[in-house]
Structure 1
């Protein structure tokens, strides 16, 4: 058996592997060479992606085959795809760009004909659900175990989404955060919100939710990722394969459309007009502008 000094990859994997798999791994012939080969496959397939060996082996340890799995299970991993998925889960910019270009945009063609609006909506949903962690959990792409091609795994996720979108309530479900989270788009931790009457505050939450549902999916996704999940303009630009200034412009346009739709909803719900409505909207706009003040910096 190779000594610890000569088997750094094996040592890293054993340190992260579940206890019930460690003896199995220690008995694996040529494990160090196998792990080195998996790493080389990832680095060779994605030469611009920067991923530390420790990160890749930590990811691999989470997805080790069961000890009773076929002998070739560890050898037959789709190592290059696993490498890319691991880097995407860590938010590595070049990995996100490679995923967009070589995986995400190749998937819809394998789902059959889709209306252009549905296709755009699907891509937005995939970016959100696969590449964003929610509630401290890692992005869902971290669940990819390398048993089959990454593109096929994403296609299965996409097919399930298309099925869900056919539900008559599917569009409503695309933005499911509670009202208090939605209000962060307009007034996070803002003491001025206390000046609103209780009924006005409730109407604002309802109006905002309705306005968000009415937004085009791309704009809703951008606002959600930037303001609720904290993605920077640089990371959004990488994910979308666009320039930073272009993405920032799209976010600003989405903000303005959101304000217009919110105005319409508030007018209808509160039966306000003239000075009263503009006063409330002024508060909304000033808080939103303050929140987005660093958008173009």
Structure 2
């Protein structure tokens, strides 16, 4: 069976496509993977199904959606998830073993998280969606391991924990006493949407700084940039969040004038855990 036939059958017939173009893209991806990682192979039907599960929704035609994915790297991830020793070996050599920012013990934890299933939960490599560079995605996993190893007794954080870390008691500012319940709900919802819209790297940086309490020097080491760059990025991200909260309050809650400004001040206090934020 052709790769395109299997993939298109899984996507359903409603999405526009050029079958020959889809086949050519998939075959070129397999050839690219073979050149980069000789000896790494997967069953064609398994690879087509793996890609189909990660094709972006709402992008037409299918070949344009495929162009948004790193298809060769998805093949390597697919082979690793299937337990291929050859694939895991080359993956390890390229993305884990030479990482100078992690210790040998931390590398071993990364390997366990990526390649070992936990009960009914597939290995974490199955979470790679192919939208970004595989090496960057692995570095994010490794960064989480480094942070977690520094606080082994603490519960594993989630993005909901990040929201909690960015949130203060609505009664913090006395003049909001009357708006206490509504303010919390409105601003929390706006913040939730704004954080969800951030790029994964920005969410990770907020998580590590606000929730994990990692300083800018250590974050600079993890992300291989100067601490001043981390500080600027944090200020930029908080500014982006505040701007998104403003838009949300104006468009969804029809707020403006003094009422909008008061809620924005409240939102700014929530986002000021790591320092003051300039309004945008």
TM-score normalised according to structure 1 size: 0.47
Q: Max radius of gyration: which structure?
A: 1
TM-score normalised according to structure 2 size: 0.50
